[in-house]
Amino acid sequence: MAAEFTFEFPLPLGLHARPASFIQEKCQNFSGEIIWENQRTQRQADAKSVLSLVTSDTQHCDLCRVIVRGEGEIEFAAELKAFLLEELPIREEKALQVPPKAEAIVPRMILEEKEVYLTGQPASSGIALGKALMLKALVDWPQVRQVRGQRRAKPEKEKKSFLTALSGLEQELKKGLAEKAGTEKNILQAHLSIATDPAFVKRVMEIIEKERASAASAVAVVAKEFSEKLLKSQTQYIRERVADLKDMTLRLLEKLGYKEVAKKKSELKEPSILVAEDLYPSEFLGFKPGLILGLILEKAGQTSHTLIMARGRGIPAVTGVTEASRLLSTGEEVVVDGTRGVVVVSPGEKIRSYYQKELEAEHKLKEIRQKKALLPGRTADGRIIEVAANIGHPEELERAWQDGAEGVGIFRTELLLYGKKTLPGEEEQFSLYRKLAEEAAGRPVIIRTFDIGGDKPIPSVKLPQEPNPFLGYRGIRIYKEYYEVFRNQVRAIMRAAVHGRLKLMFPMVALVEEVRWLKEQVRKFSEELNSQGLPCNQNIETGIMLEIPSVALLVDKFAPEVEFFSVGSNDLIQYFFAADRGNPQVKYLNQPLSPALLRLLKLAIDRAHEHRRWVGLCGELAGDPRLTPVFVGLGFDELSMSSGFIPEVKAVLSRVRMNNCQKLVAEAMERATAEENTYLLENFYQDYFSEDIVTSELIDLSADCCSKAEVIHKLAVSFELSGRVDNRAVFEQALWKREDDVATEIGFGLAIPHCQSGTVKTPSVGLLRLKQSVDWQSKEGQPVDLVICLAIPSGDKVRSQIQLLPKLSRKLIHEDFRQALRQAGDREEVVKLIKSAIS
């Protein structure tokens, strides 16, 4: 006898790992046998085995027959049916409601299309679509192959060692479970359910017995078998299970004595998206530039040098993607959305089209940027501020000039050393610096001597391990011990300086006596070179990094020793606020607008100017165009940044005036918090960058959109292209947030999406006439064919302009006005209509 029932599988994502484990849990309580039969795939599964259930490849609405045999079969069958149809969907829904990390912005389209995605933090903006390459794959099946095929004569012995290994692993996992929480606990839970999965264990024993395989060989064979079944499934979510399986196989094999199958670095042969826990700068630089399409990292800090370089090269990156290297696998198609901090796995058609539009938008934005790149580094009232590029390698020069760099503000020479077994000698460096000087063709290039230590360990310099490398033995502090390294580099720079405008800069100076020592050595080197008959620039312009707060307070005493200072904002902020820049837990202390920091900088710059010394800024901050008015107001003479930021910074520079910026800084220094200053700065932008509320760029009279999500995206793109918002992703999210309160469809075929957001630069109105009506997802809503988007910035100084929007809103109530908007022959006419409505 047996009890059975047939039902339609209710979960939209199909029967993947998580619901399978719920079902297994439920069936465990029943002593008899439970068979799951998928009528579509004709596959049978043991409902007490997660792996077996998953391999039944059950999709949404598949007809399934469940057969229950054993004591109390009728009662349990009824109970199980109720569980599958009622409780399971609820549990699955709850499990899916894990909120994405705060900083990621998941496009609505991805949610609506139910795509598989991972979230992290945006780390380098831009979109990349391509194949993933795992840099540290846990187990590569080809490497497990060497284990397969081993035979042993005594199956009983092999079974015993397998069971010993298994129970050892089980104990480890259980111990881990007791200690861990959250995601890590979930992973261990998943591993444990595989380790104890009856189908897996049964199959291993079978192979040992029948094929006289060694325990390790049987584990490898079965793992491969199961993995292939999992991969054949249509449900993308199942990949998670494959990763678990790989992970557990590796650990089992390790227990059986096969350590050598573990971890091997993959090689990059075709353009790919790199996936890794973290990537050292040396590894990043080890790859050919064109081959890296994008980066997906688990742990890299926003100011890690790898990410800084990725931004410099315009490579899209997302960091903080928990478990990326477990969840993705080599060869898989992925989208890296570095603008929003999202990774989409095997994107469907609509998502591809969404990102196609994103790529087009990026392309147009690039053209706009190129125009800005040609602007001179000068404020509207004529104060010259040199806009330069930060580089880590001479190869980056070409891109820097294209971006409009007027020089190089810092060449971080230690990046040349990554991945090299030996340090380059004087001659090698001389020819490199000389080439640099010549390529710069009269533009100034500041060469910063090796800053080794801290977050930038160099294989060829053996520095002692220290608990706090950022506060330890790095920069010029090691020059006395590594005198030859120092000597070779400075001599090479001085010699190359004959061929162009090279300047010399020293890192990590804290004391005047350090500079005096450095200058003394420079004099010595120049005498040496003279006596050797080697031409050199004896009067090479020499400066120091201003990154340790002690220098800022003693600029007047440093001034006689040096010709310039260059602020390294990342280190200065980290030392000033005593907060490790790579530690996400103290990230809130990274406060560029802190009044304390502004006072420190103002004091240092004023003192430097009193002594006729110039001051530059070469940290990452220099590239943030929002902060440009602040840096102008502080009196910086030079701003040097990853070249990608140059066009936008130049565009801001060309529009601001010295006295306004100075007033802004004077006010900001008197506030108590960085937050107040953020607000102050937003208002500053409103006062000096205000534009017409509507222009024809914001109007589209025949927009081709198939859904509300496409309309909102189109608006977001056009608002960024016309310079109305800083970040279309943030703007898009803000519009959706308002729609989620209550959809903004108001009848008459009209919707008025709107928002107030910090990303909006100036109050703006956009209008779309839709080719075909779309459903606006509102209660009892009518289709919409006319969309008017209203955007206002946050901040309170915009009243006069915000006032215009209510006027327009009132006007939209009137049929004749709507009629006129619908019938207007061209965009200019619409602009006129809107303007007259609000005047």
Partner 1 sequence: MKLVAVTACPTGIAHTYMAAEQLEGQAQKMGFSIKVETQGAMGIENELGQDDIDKAAAVIFAAGIAVQKAERFEGKKIFEFSVQEAIKNPEKILQKVKEEVGG
Interface positions with partner 1 (CB under 8 A): 738, 741-742, 744, 746-747, 752, 754-756, 790, 792, 799, 802-803, 805-807, 809-810, 812-814
Contact 141/243 with Cβ under 8 angstroms?
A: no
In the complex with partner 1, the residue whose CB is nearer, 327 or 812, is 812
Q: In 3-state terms, what secondary structure has residue 54?
A: helix
Q: What are the strands, taking DSSP E only, across 536-633?
A: 542-546, 564-567, 614-617
Q: Tokens for 811?
A: 């006007």
Query: In angstroms, how far is CA 236 from the centroid of its own chain?
Result: 23
| CB atoms closer than 10 angstroms to residue 529 | 17
- Which residue out of 16, 64, 713, 755 is catalytically annotated? 16
Specify which residues 68 forms β-bridges with.
Answer: 3, 34
Q: Which sign, positive or negative, has the C-alpha torsion 732, 735, 738, 742?
A: negative
Strand-by-strand arrangement of the 342-345 sheet: 116-119, 342-345, 333-337, 127-134, 272-276, 292-297, 317-319, 121-124
Closest CA to 547 of 558, 560, 561: 558
Q: Which parts of 722-795 fold into alpha helices (H)?
A: 728-741
In the complex with partner 1, the residue whose CB is nearer, 67 or 802, is 802
Query: In angstroms, how far is CA 100 from the centroid of its own chain?
Result: 14
Is 755 designated active site? no
What does each C-alpha distance from 168 to 165, 175, 205 come to in angstroms?
A: 5, 11, 17
Q: Return the H-helix or E-strand segment holding 655.
A: none
In the complex with partner 1, the residue whose CB is nearer, 508 or 838, is 838
The contacts of residue 232 (CB under 8 Å, 6+ apart) are 57
DSSP 99: P
- Which residue out of 64, 536, 661, 754 is catalytically annotated? 754
For residue 738, the minimal CB distance to partner 1 (Å) is: 6
* Residue in this structure with the two tokens 């602009």, named with its chain if needed: 831
Q: Which sign, positive or negative, has the C-alpha torsion 550, 552, 554, 557?
A: positive
In the complex with partner 1, the residue whose CB is nearer, 6 or 836, is 836
Q: Tokens for 153?
A: 């004569």
For residue 788, the minimal CB distance to partner 1 (Å) is: 9
Is 305 designated active site? yes
Contact 475/499 with Cβ under 8 angstroms?
A: no
Specify which residues 543 forms β-bridges with.
Answer: 505, 564
For residue 724, the minimal CB distance to partner 1 (Å) is: 15
In the complex with partner 1, the residue whose CB is nearer, 349 or 741, is 741
The contacts of residue 806 (CB under 8 Å, 6+ apart) are none
For residue 803, the minimal CB distance to partner 1 (Å) is: 6
For residue 347, the minimal CB distance to partner 1 (Å) is: 32
For residue 810, the minimal CB distance to partner 1 (Å) is: 4
Specify which residues 214 forms β-bridges with.
Answer: none
The backbone torsions φ and ψ at residue 286, rounded to the nearest 5 degrees and listed phi first, read -70, -20
For residue 721, the minimal CB distance to partner 1 (Å) is: 23
- Which residue out of 27, 64, 536, 618 is catalytically annotated? 618
In the complex with partner 1, the residue whose CB is nearer, 578 or 742, is 742
Specify which residues 343 forms β-bridges with.
Answer: 118, 336
In the complex with partner 1, the residue whose CB is nearer, 664 or 789, is 789
In the complex with partner 1, the residue whose CB is nearer, 519 or 818, is 818
Q: Can you tell me the distance from the alpha carbon of 804 to that of 642, in angstroms, rounded to the nearest whole number?
A: 39
Q: Can you tell me the distance from the alpha carbon of 189 to that of 103, in angstroms, rounded to the nearest whole number?
A: 28
For residue 807, the minimal CB distance to partner 1 (Å) is: 8
Query: In angstroms, how far is CA 618 from the centroid of its own chain?
Result: 22
Contact 820/831 with Cβ under 8 angstroms?
A: no
Specify which residues 784 forms β-bridges with.
Answer: 774
CA angle 703, 706, 709 (to 5 degrees): 95
Contact 597/603 with Cβ under 8 angstroms?
A: no
- Which residue out of 27, 64, 191, 305 is catalytically annotated? 305
Residues listed for the chain:
839
In the complex with partner 1, the residue whose CB is nearer, 174 or 810, is 810
Give exposure, 482-510, as e/b (b: 16+ Cβ within 10 Å). Answer: beebbbbbbbbbbbbbebbbbbbbbbbbb
Specify which residues 750 forms β-bridges with.
Answer: 786
For residue 820, the minimal CB distance to partner 1 (Å) is: 17
In the chain the first and final C-alpha atoms are separated, in Å, by: 84
The backbone torsions φ and ψ at residue 64, rounded to the nearest 5 degrees and listed phi first, read -125, 140
In the complex with partner 1, the residue whose CB is nearer, 210 or 807, is 807
Q: Can you tell me the distance from the alpha carbon of 784 to that of 751, in angstroms, rounded to the nearest whole number?
A: 6
Over 175-244, what HEC string results? Answer: HHHHHCCHHHHHHHHHHHHHHCCHHHHHHHHHHHHHHCECHHHHHHHHHHHHHHHHHHCCCHHHHHHHHH
For residue 815, the minimal CB distance to partner 1 (Å) is: 11
For residue 677, the minimal CB distance to partner 1 (Å) is: 23
Contact 266/125 with Cβ under 8 angstroms?
A: no
Contact 491/532 with Cβ under 8 angstroms?
A: no
Q: Return the H-helix or E-strand segment holding 53.
A: helix 50-54
Is 754 designated active site? yes
In the complex with partner 1, the residue whose CB is nearer, 724 or 754, is 754
Q: Can you tell me the distance from the alpha carbon of 536 to that of 541, in angstroms, rounded to the nearest whole number?
A: 12
Return the active site residues. 16, 305, 618, 754
